Amino acid sequence: MRQIAGRALWLGNAGNLRDARAVLAAGIEAVVELADSEPLAALPRELIRLRVPLSDGGRNPAWLLRFAVKSVAALLRAGVPTLVACSAGMSRSVCIAAGALSLAESRLLDEALAAVVRFGPADVSPGLLAQVREALGCSQQGSDT
């Protein structure tokens, strides 16, 4: 689990979700689960929880991607410490976090993505990133969100 510096945003994986004590110790108040193939994590009731099952392969409904990105952006704007997690914590969580930062901070998607990957490993699925870009209305790299 790694925090994006200067923000109440963490990226994590399915293993991090199995360690509720570490999640709570980090001060996290909301968890967004993105893995479509992982079982629902057993988390304490006091955590806000959102499950948006996404696939890396670029076969997600546009409305579902917008929902995930806008939900995380709303949590960021509200200052809610949020963990965004997927299976390995390197693609879906990175893409959705970048999209949310783009919306919440009125930044270009590529700038937000660079800010997110600066803090740890990433293996972003090109298909998923293209879907996020399309869902946010970005016609090409470097376009406004």
Q: Which two tokens stand for residue 96?
A: 């959705």
pLDDT at 38: 85
Give the Cα separation of 142 and 43 in Å (integer): 38
Model confidence pLDDT, tens digit, residues 124-144: 999 999 999 998 887 444 444
The domain over range 2-135 is classified in CATH as 3.30.70.980: no
pLDDT at 134: 92
Model confidence pLDDT, tens digit, residues 77-136: 999 999 999 999 889 999 999 999 999 999 999 999 999 999 888 999 999 999 999 988
pLDDT at 119: 80
- How many helices (H) and strands (E) are present in the chain, helices listed first? 6, 5
pLDDT at 120: 87
Q: How far apart are the first and last CA of the chain?
A: 27
